[in-house]
A and B are shown apart, each in its own frame.
Chain A
Amino acid sequence: MKWRLFFSGAVALATTLGMSATIPSEAAARHHVAVAYPKFPKYTKHVTITWWSWVSSANALVKAFEKAYPTIKVIHRQIPGSEYTKLTTVLKAGSGAPDDVQIEYQMMPQYVNTGDLVNLAQYDQQYMKWYPKWVQNQVTFGGKLFAMPEDVAPLGLLYNPSYFAKYHLSVPQTWAQFAADAAKVHKANPKAYLSYFAPNDGGWITGLLWQAGAQPFLQMSNGAWKIDFTSPAAEQVMNFWGNLIKKGYVKVSNDFTPQWNHEVGSGLYGAFPAAAWSPKYQLQPALPKKYTPWKAAYIPQWKAGAHDDGNWGGSTTAVTNQTKHPRAAALFAAWINLSEQGLSIGNNIGGYFTASTDSPHVAAFTAPVPVLGGQRANLIFEKESPWVNTSFEWSPWTLYVYSEMQVEFTKAASGKESWNQALANIQQNVSQFARTQGYQVVQ
Chain B
Amino acid sequence: MSANVGVNQLQRRNHSRTNVGRKAGTTIITIVMIFVAAYFLLPLVWLLISTTKTGSELFNTPMLALPKHIGLFANLKLVSTYHGGYFWRWYLNSAIYATVTSVLSTVICSLAGYALAKYRFRARQFVFGMILASLLVPAAALTVPTFLMVKFLGLMNTYAGVIVPGLATAFGVYFLSIYIGEAMPTEFMDSGRVDGAGEWQIFWRIAIPVLRPGMVTYLLISFIGSWNNFFLPLLILNSSALYPLPLGLDVWSTYLTQAGAGVPPYAQIVTGSFLSILPMVVLFPFLRKYIASGMITGGIKM
CB–CB under 8 A between A and B in the complex?
yes
Q: Is B293 an interface residue (CB 8 A)?
A: no
Report which residue of A55, A96, A280, A282 has the largest number of chain B beta carbons within 10 angstroms of its beta carbon.
A96
Report which residue of B147, B151, B258 has the largest number of chain A beta carbons within 10 angstroms of its beta carbon.
B258
Q: CA separation between A54 and B262, bound complex, in Å?
A: 10
The residue in chain A whose Cβ has the minimal distance to the Cβ of B59 is A262
Within 8 A of A (CB), among B236-291: 236, 238-240, 250-251, 254-264
The residue in chain B whose Cβ has the minimal distance to the Cβ of A54 is B260
Grouping DSSP codes into helix (H, G, I), strand (E, B) and loop, the B interface class, with mixed when no group exceeds half, is loop
Inter-chain contact B259/A256, CB cutoff 8 Å: yes
Picked from B235, B239, B257, B262, the residue with its CB within 8 Å of the CB of A256 is: B257
- Given contacts A78-B83, A285-B264, are A93 and B259 in contact (CB under 8 A)? no
- Given contacts A93-B156, A94-B156, are A261 and B257 in contact (CB under 8 A)? yes
Inter-chain contact B262/A96, CB cutoff 8 Å: no
Inter-chain contact A81/B238, CB cutoff 8 Å: no
Give how many B residues have a beta carbon under 8 Å from the other chain's beta carbons. 23
- Given contacts A56-B262, A285-B264, are A93 and B257 in contact (CB under 8 A)? no
Q: CA separation between A258 and B59, bound complex, in Å?
A: 12
Inter-chain contact B256/A258, CB cutoff 8 Å: yes
| List of B residues within 8 angstroms of A90 by Cβ | 238
Q: Is A89 an interface residue (CB 8 A)?
A: yes
Inter-chain contact B261/A54, CB cutoff 8 Å: yes
| List of A residues within 8 angstroms of B94 by Cβ | none
Within 8 A of B (CB), among A154-176: none
Q: CA separation between A56 and B236, bound complex, in Å?
A: 28
Picked from B261, B263, B264, the residue with its CB within 8 Å of the CB of A78 is: B261
Q: How far is the CB of B241 from chain A (nearest CB, A)?
A: 11
- Given contacts A78-B255, A81-B254, A81-B255, are A96 and B260 in contact (CB under 8 A)? no
27 example contacts (A-B, Cβ-Cβ < 8 A) are as follows A56-B262, A78-B261, A80-B250, A80-B254, A80-B258, A81-B254, A81-B255, A81-B257, A81-B261, A89-B238, A90-B238, A92-B151, A93-B151, A93-B156, A93-B157, A93-B238, A95-B156, A96-B157, A96-B238, A96-B239, A256-B257, A256-B258, A256-B259, A258-B256, A261-B264, A277-B259, A281-B260
Name 18 extra pairs, CB < 8 A, besides A81-B258, A92-B151, A93-B147. Answer: A54-B258, A54-B261, A56-B260, A56-B262, A77-B240, A78-B255, A78-B261, A80-B251, A80-B254, A81-B254, A86-B238, A96-B157, A96-B238, A96-B239, A261-B257, A261-B264, A277-B259, A282-B259
A residues contacting B by CB (< 8 A) are 54-56, 77-78, 80-82, 86, 89-90, 92-96, 256-258, 261, 277, 280-282, 285
